[in-house]
Amino acid sequence: MTVFQRYLLIQIPGWILAVIILSAVHRWMNLPLWVAVGLFAVYVGKDFVLYPFLRRAYEPGGKTILEQLVGEAGVATQQLDPDGYVRVRGELWHAEAAPGMQPVPQGSRIRVESARGMTLIVTPDRED
């Protein structure tokens, strides 16, 4: 199954719900049929317009946010002895110094080695 087919299959329940709601509004509020069909077309069109932006989320084997951070550089916002907080890609993350590492001082550059749960495992950046 392609990514586009997966995306369309996930959209179908929303389209069915839109048809049910627009049919009810057409019947009970005398909404002209051409308006209901036009609104449905806009609703479906929105899904096709958004597809290029959402494609990566539907790809199989996509990396999680934490997996994407492995290898990234950041800065320790507090001393990691053995845990604390670091800033990576502008976001604040809970982190631990890798096992066997000395405490990482506040303000030091770090590199993300791995992740455990929602905690990043970091080492001092060798380029520092």
Radius of gyration, alpha carbons of the chain: 24
**Which pLDDT score, from 0 to 100, does residue 128 have?**
47
Share of the chain above pLDDT 90, in %: 73
Q: Is the pTM of this model over 0.75?
A: no
| Domain spans in the chain, listed from the N-terminal domain onward | 3-58, 65-124
Q: Per-residue b/e over 60-74, b at no fewer than 16 CB within 10 Å?
A: eeeeeebeebeeeeb
> Nearest-CA neighbor of 95 among 122, 66, 70?
122
| Paired tokens of 127 | 């380029």
Alpha-carbon span 49 to 39, nearest angstrom: 15
Per-residue pLDDT tens for 4-35?
A: 999 999 999 999 999 999 999 999 999 999 99
Per-residue pLDDT tens for 33-53?
A: 999 999 999 999 999 999 999
CATH 3.90.950.10 correct for 65-124: no
